Amino acid sequence: MTLFTRRDALKTGVGFAAAGLGSKVLLDAAHAFAQEAPWKPEKGASLRILRWQRFVVAEGENFMALTDAFSKATGVKIRVDSLGFEDLRPKAAVAANARTGPDIIWNIHADNHLYPDALVDVSDVADWIGKRGGGWFPIAELYGKRAGKWNSIPATISGNLMNYRISHMKKAGFEKFPDNLPDFLKLMQALKKNNTPGGFALGNASGDGNSWVLWLLWAHGAKIVDEKNNVVINSPETIAALEYGKQLAETFAPGAASWLDPSNNKAFLDGQCSLTNNGISIYAAAQAQGNKALADDTDHAFYPMGASRKPTEFHVNFPLMVYKHSKYKNAAKAYLAYMMDKPQYDKFLQGAVGYLSHSLKAYDKHPVWTEDKKRLPFRDVAVRSLPFSHAGSLGYAASQVFADFVAVNMVAEVATGAKSPKQAAEDAQKRAERYYKV
């Protein structure tokens, strides 16, 4: 099997042993799984897996160590490749349409709803995992099912929360992170005045851009569609959200207009940004780099709430999918079940150090959440998350609107001054209606 193409995946002081991954322990667990699991790999099976590039080194190492143990225990040859989000999603779609390519995709969001006919029904795997893992959270089941059947395994719900510098927040006049929209804007304005600005991605960032933009809309009571899937993005609530977003954008660090998913990580770690939305990868990177001062001064918070005083957050789903064109479907199902079974999932969560959160209810008390209090907010993201289709149904149209960055581009157009809130909302309405075929 091949390792990640990113060379820096190997340049880390956190080895398998440091992560608690003794090879004999892993291999024994893999052999035990192979004996018990109902899926027996086909003779001579080989799998090609394509996944997103890891953001936390230990997660990538754990993934490879666990995969290697499965390969040795079952005899299934495995090749693992990785791509960034912007390249992975188109590659996954091409494989679905061409009916050739990888056997398994570890993708992002709910792309299984874009090409459902190309994917294997994995309901048997999902049911087996769910029973052993205390049941799936509702958001995971919503993402994983299509027409009542599972066509993906929602391996993890990755939290996307507020990352901030504690000292900068206090210097701006706040002892605690604000939990409401007016105070949050005041914090951003004060940070800008102190030359320690915050910033949020305005480029077509699959994770960070969509996450904060959808929160912005939902916190103001706006939504792309209503409960009957009528497009309603051109609304007074959206205008209010865009006007608020324009004020936020005036406080952003330079370059935010073109930021993609890695950009705010780099800006924060370089000291150019003191508040952004992200997973825990910034904090984990500071720790891994030995930057104790930055790690100690970094913390995490839930998004501020709007007038409803309810969470209006969007967190990122990472589904595992098996293509119908795979010659080795039993081997693929066995691999998915193995990676999600407790001995492996425990280590997976530990290695992810909070960047990837559990989609199964049994893991609320996993030690990864209690050994470092700065990880704790990420424990609850599966409970707090709304689907990107809110308030309508998750399906092809919602997935297409999401994949086309309709909401992100609308907010970016106003934030950069390219359009007025009114014009941007009207144009977003038309773009969304094309997918909903109004």
Please give the Cα distance from 59 to 7 (Å, whole number).
15
- Asked if 166 and 151 touch (Cβ cutoff 8 Å), the reply is no
Q: Which of 8, 385, 314, 256 is CA-nearest to residue 265? A: 256
Q: What's the pTM value of the predicted model, to 2 decimals?
A: 0.90
Task: Quote the pLDDT of residue 105.
Answer: 97
pLDDT tens string, the chain, 438 residues long: the values are 333 333 233 233 334 433 445 689 999 999 999 999 999 999 999 999 999 998 888 899 999 999 999 999 999 999 999 998 889 989 999 999 999 999 999 999 999 999 999 999 999 999 999 999 999 999 999 999 999 999 999 999 999 999 999 999 999 999 999 999 999 999 999 999 999 999 999 999 888 999 999 999 999 999 999 999 999 999 999 999 999 999 999 999 999 999 998 999 999 999 999 999 999 999 999 998 999 999 999 999 999 999 999 999 999 999 999 999 999 999 999 999 999 999 999 999 999 999 999 999 999 999 999 999 999 999 999 999 999 999 999 988 999 999 899 999 999 999 999 999 999 999 999 999 999 985
* CA pair distance 407, 204, nearest whole angstrom: 10
Residues 192 and 287 placed together within one structural domain of the fold? yes
What is the C-alpha separation between 423 and 414, in angstroms, rounded? Answer: 9
Residue 398 falls inside a structural domain: no
CATH code for the domain in which residue 44 is found? 3.40.190.10
Residues 34, 153 within the same domain: yes
Beta strands in 267-346 (DSSP E): 275-278, 298-301, 316-322
- If asked whether residues 155 and 17 sit together in one domain, one would say yes
| Same domain for 270 and 322 | no
Q: Does one domain contain both 239 and 350?
A: no
The answer as to whether 16 is a domain residue is yes
Q: Is residue 41 part of a domain?
A: yes
User: What letter represents residue 130's amino acid?
Assistant: G
What pLDDT is stored for residue 423 in this prediction? 98
Neighbours of 438 (CB within 10 A): 11
Specify the amino acid at residue 56.
Answer: V
> How far is the C-alpha of 10 from the C-alpha of 57, rounded, in Å?
8
Look at residues 132, 173, 169 and name the one whose alpha carbon lies nearest to residue 153.
Answer: 132
56: nearest Cα among 207, 158, 204: 158
Q: What is the DSSP letter of 54?
A: P
Residues 45 and 70 in one domain: yes
Residues 345 and 220 in one domain: no
Same domain? 425 vs 298: yes
Query: Looking at residue 19, what is its pLDDT?
Result: 42
The percent of the chain in helix, strand and coil, each rounded to the nearest 5, is 50, 15, 35
**Residue 397 maps to a domain:** no
Whether residues 148 and 91 fall in one domain: yes
Compute the distance between CA of residue 430 and CA of residue 426 in angstroms, rounded to an integer. Answer: 7
Look at residue 438 in the predicted model and tell me its pLDDT: 58
> pLDDT value at position 6?
30
**Structural domain that includes position 65:** 7-159+315-384
Q: How many structural domains comprise the chain?
A: 2
387: left (phi over 0), alpha (psi -120 to 50) or beta: beta
Residue labelled with tokens 């704790």: 376
Residue 391 covered by a domain: no
Q: Torsion angle of alpha carbons 362, 367, 370, 375, nearest 10°?
A: -80
Note the residue count of the chain: 438
Do 360 and 426 share a domain, yes or no? no
Task: Show the tokens assigned to 125.
Answer: 């795997």
CB distance 390 to 223 below 8 Å:
yes
392 in a domain, yes or no? Answer: no
CA–CA distance, 428 with 287 (Å, rounded to integer): 41
Q: Is residue 81 part of a domain?
A: yes
- pLDDT, one tens digit per residue, over 252-275 is 999 999 999 899 999 999 999 999
Residue 26 lies in a domain: yes
Report the chain's terminal Cα–Cα distance, integer Å: 48
Same domain, 309 and 412: yes
| Two tokens, residue 55 | 């953001």
Cis check: omega of the bond before 219, within 30 degrees of 0:
no
pLDDT tens-digit map of 338-349:
999 999 999 999
Residues 308 and 320 in one domain: no
